[in-house]
Amino acid sequence: MEEVAREEVEIDKDVEEKIKKTVKKILQGSSFYKMTENKAREQASSELDLDLSQDPYKLIVKEAVGSYVEEALKVVGNKIVKLQTYNTVDE
């Protein structure tokens, strides 16, 4: 089987940071139940006038979405712990 060489593309750090900030802004203003990685990528592509469906941009968006979800889960987890602690004190 023939291997296809992948071309490594260097992304400007400013562009990468702009993509991450745009994706985060989009996610913050969206419903967790309705937003998908694909929708976030399409909206960010439109806002930045950049095709984010191609590598390596696609990976940057995927990482930004993953990072946002992890952070949101930590916040929710902390709130649950606080509620449990508050309810335990009242008993």
Residues 38-67 have pLDDT tens digits of 999 999 999 999 999 998 999 999 999 999
| Predicted TM-score of the model (pTM) | 0.76
Assess contact for 44 and 26: CB atoms under 8 A: yes
Q: What's the one-letter identity of residue 46?
A: S
Give 56's DSSP letter: T
The Cα–Cα gap between 64 and 74 comes to 16
The Cα–Cα gap between 69 and 5 comes to 32
Give 9-41 pLDDT, tens digit per residue.
678 899 999 999 999 999 999 988 899 999 999
Q: Where do the structural domains in the chain lie, given as residue ranges?
A: 13-90
